[in-house]
Structure 1
Amino acid sequence: MPATVHVRELTADDLTDAWDLGRLAFGSDPQRAPHATVEVPGLTRYGAFDDTGRLVGKAVDLHHDQWWSGRRVPAADVAGVAVAPEARGRGVARAMLGALLRGARERGAAISALYPTVAAPYRACGWEAAGVLRAVDLTTAALPRHRPAPHLTVRAGTPADLPAVAALYERVTRHRNGPLTRRGELFDFFAAGGGLPGDALTLVEDGGDLVGYASWERGRGYGADSVLTVQEALATTADAARELVGVLGSWASVAPTLRLYPLDGDAVGVHLPLEAAREHKRDLWMHRPVDVARAVGTRGWPAHARGSVDFALTDELADWNTGTWRLSVADGVGELTRIGGEADLRLHVRGFALLYAGAARARSVTEAGLAHAAGADPDGLDLLGVGGPAQLLDYF
């Protein structure tokens, strides 16, 4: 392959080649998804071309927003990164990701997340492992069965209920860190069909108000290997959570295994026998800032957090982040401003990602070589991670 690579946004004429490259890279179904070769709002597709004009790499910037302590933070979540086998190891992915970050910054993105097939190339570009999306299996018969609450109504949901479901999802997730808002052009595009997200939807209502829901897929058969997959089960009251758990437990005679994606510390999880859960699947996700000042200024911060810390940041791929900064947090608002001179605390962008996502403390980041204290106390950098660990609920 020639030494040079040219990166640009893909056009409609490039999408068939991009689909073929992705199919080969990921072993996808030869049958194309309907959206694969059409323009989709809310995402930007990038391609890398060699000197002959052949497409040798592709990557997608998903225009998501993430919830961070009550505020929406614009994100450039990355998916579909693939490089032709003949072009691997030649800097193609790095060139694409650099272009993606520049484009994402220009459109206003602040942060980025991705699910890697292999972490090392993304670490080399500034992303760092920050969490895991887990699917666990429970013995359905082990779920507690509660007497139905007389003030609650349980019924099957329909597509007409989806706006109320979206509102409850937002109520549960908006004060956390990391979950997608599930708003915007991209989600509107895929929701245009108007169908349910799985095989069925179970709703719990209190006086006509939605207080809990579970979306699920029935699976096949009713023998010992039958699995009921719960894509999401969320509730806003303990009574609603118990009601949902009771409904799910009622499947024990025909679906001995319940598979679900737990949300740490939520209303439903505290009623599940998670000590007996068996891990079915785990998908590592990685995080990094697109624009550090925007990442700090657009997110929410815990009201009790207050303080400031100076640090020097190094970001080899997104050099606009490199420099000496002062982080100030007070009254639920954070600000990152450039300052002159040097700083005793030095931070690599991967260390910034770990701290921002609440995935590590400053001393651990220092021990990992992603921060350097130069004799100073590194604990001041923990201000960057107040508010608890981030968590994703969507795979992309």
Structure 2
Amino acid sequence: MPDVRELTPDDLDDAWQLGRLAFGYDPQPPPPPATTGRTAYGAFDPAGHLVGKAVDLHDEQWWSGRVVPAADVAGVAVAAEARGTGVGRTLLTALLRGARDRGAAVSALFPTTTAPYRACGWEVTGQLRTLDLPTAGLPRQRRDPQLTVRAGTPADLPATTELYRRVACHRNGLLTRTQRRFTVTDKLPYDGLTLVEHDGHLVGYAGWNRGQGYGPDAVLTVEDILATTAAAARALVGVLASWYSVAPTLRLTLLPGDAVSTHLPLERTREHERHAWMHRPVDIVRAVPARGWPAHTRGEVTFALTDDLADWNTGTWQLTVADGHADLRRSTAEADLHLTVRGFARLYTGTATARALAETGLLHHRTPDPSALDLLAAGPTAHLIDYF
């Protein structure tokens, strides 16, 4: 097995080369990454050569009104000659242990291939979809006279961050965007920022990049768009519709079921790009009580869990949910419900029911009906709209 340790500045050139070969990066390396808010791990063969790498992003996620510490995994690469020898599994085992030591509760990643991550306990729990719409097909309605629509400046970025917080905090899985890579405020991160205000308060925004040309292939790419009212969403859609003569295609990533989505002709979308994302618990004893739970949900269930990489999660557990909170304690009772860590991820993110999991083999049960474990799936379905 390789030796795994945190990468040092002296390892950065080798790490870049490994990632360049794996992902086809530009041969010219970028400036060195920030040393805070992330932990980079490297796997080294007996000769001391770097044969694998992975990065733990010290993120936080919103889960029903509460912030949950996360280990979001990025930049995983293994040298071609070392693939299939257990390097990736050894790396991810070390990453999980280090993430637990620093207090992380959950983890997410965007895989280039799912099989090795499934073997390590992550499971597909959603899709990040970028859609194309014909700009000319967007509705153009009379703007609410109580709204002000204007161009934004860098000084407005803190207000957009606060609006994002209001939209994201009561949902599940979304990043808090408080990490350093989201908090640059000295310049706009897009070509343009459109703001919608009501009585001086921000109620919607869209950050967009113009792209090149004005012919039939021209695209207006909306990098970020959110609204807190229906009127603000309609105003933003109206501004985007005004680009129809010079940007026939609108490209955007939507938060499913949000205010903007409900005012777009989604039946006319074409999928431009899709990225599956995967979830797994780092430490279930933290993950369960750290998040918010539906206030109307009450119940108790005992289950057994198996986690080959994070043995601290393995055992028999009693879950209790009441009054918007949950508790998870080890139990000596015999469990009729046996859950894999991938099954835990599907339930925790609200992307499966216990009956559905039983059909996939991610849950085994000795009772006729395993639905008592639906308690773990209480709450909104998790989403991610930021790629990492």
Q: Give TM class, smaller chain.
A: over 0.9
Indicate yes or no: 2:307 matched with 1:315: yes
> Larger deviation: 141-150 or 110-119?
141-150
Q: Which amino acid aligns with 1:45?
A: A
**Given the alignment, which residue of 258, 275, 285 partners 1:283?**
275
**Counterparts of 1:224 and 1:131 in 2: how far apart (Å)?**
32
- Please state if 1:300 is matched with 2:300: no
Residue among 322, 345, 350 paired with 1:330: 322
Q: 1:71 is matched by which residue type in structure 2? A: R
Equivalent residue for 1:34? 31
Query: Aligned residue for 1:152?
Result: 147
Residue deviations 1:109-164, cap 9 Å, x none? 00000000000000000000000000011110111001121111111111100000
Give the counterpart of 1:392 among 369, 381, 384.
384
SS in 1 for 2:382: coil
Q: Take 1:201 and 1:74, find their aligned partners in 2: how far apart are those partners? A: 30
Are residue 212 (structure 1) and residue 207 (structure 2) matched?
A: no
Residue in 1 that maps onto 2:332: 340
Normalising by structure 1, report the TM-score.
Answer: 0.96
How do 1:149-298 and structure 2 match up within 5 A?
A: 149-185=144-180, 187-188=182-183, 191=184, 194-298=186-290
Structure 2 distance, partners of 1:184, 1:338, is 33
User: Residue 76 of structure 1 aligns with which residue?
Assistant: 71
SS state at 2:160 partner? helix
Deviations 1:24-67 (A, max 9, x none): 1100011222134xx52100000000000000000000000000
Query: How far off is 1:186 after superposition?
Result: 5.0
From 94, 105, 115, the equivalent of 2:100 is 105
Counterpart of 1:135 in structure 2 is: 130
> Is 1:57–1:81's contact at 8 Å kept on the other side of the alignment?
yes
Task: For 1:137 and 1:185, locate their aligned partners in 2 and report how far apart those are by CA, in whole Å.
Answer: 30
Identity of aligned residues (%): 67
Aligned partner (choices 56, 59, 62) of residue 57 of structure 2? 62
Indicate the RMSD between aligned Cα atoms, in angstroms.
Answer: 1.0
Provide closer, same or farther for how the CA distance between residues 232 and 187 of structure 1 changes in structure 2, counting only shifts above 3 A.
Answer: closer
Provide the residue aligned with 1:91 in structure 2. 86
* CA deviation profile, 1:279-319 (whole Å, cap 9, x unmatched): 11110000000001101010011111111110000000100
Which residue in the other structure is 2:12 paired with?
Answer: 15
Measure, in 2, the Cα distance between the counterparts of 1:213 and 1:10.
39
Q: Following superposition of structure 1 onto structure 2, how do residues 110-129 of structure 1 map, counting pairs within 5 Å?
A: 110-129=105-124
TM-score normalised according to structure 2 size: 0.98
* Alignment partners' CA distance in 1, 2:234 and 2:93: 47
How far, CA to CA, are the matches of 1:195 and 1:141 in structure 2? 31
Shift of residue 178, structure 1, vs aligned partner = 0.6
1:344–1:376 Cα contact (<8 Å) kept: no
Call closer, same or farther: CA 1:258–1:187 in 2, change over 3 Å. Answer: closer
- In structure 1, the residue matched to 2:372 is 380
Structure 2, unaligned stretches of length 5 or more? none
What's the CA shift for 1:389? 1.1
User: Is the CA contact (8 Å cut-off) linking 1:41 and 1:186 kept in structure 2?
Assistant: no
Per-residue deviation, residues 239-267 of structure 1 (Å, max 9, x unmatched) = 11110000000000000000111111111
1:92-119 Cα distance to aligned partner (Å, 9 max, x none) = 0000000000000000000000000000
Which one of 3, 10, 31 corresponds to residue 6 of structure 1?
3
Residues 42, 186 of structure 1: 8 Å contact kept: no
Deviation at residue 320 of structure 1 after TM alignment: 0.3
Instruction: Tell me how many residue pairs correspond in the alignment.
Output: 388
CA distance in 2, matches of 1:164, 1:40: 27
Q: Distance in 2 between matches of 1:248 and 1:187?
A: 24
CA distance in 1, matches of 2:333, 2:313: 16
Aligned residue number for residue 342 of structure 2: 350
Q: Are the counterparts in 2 of residues 143 and 273 from structure 1 also a CA contact under 8 Å?
A: yes
What is the one-letter code of the residue matched to 1:307?
A: G
Query: Does the CA-based 8 Å contact 1:44-1:60 persist in structure 2?
Result: yes
Structure 1 residue identity aligned to 2:20: R
Does the CA-based 8 Å contact 1:21-1:84 persist in structure 2?
yes
Q: Distance in 1 between matches of 2:211 and 2:180?
A: 31
Counterparts of 2:256 and 2:172 in 1: how far apart (Å)?
12
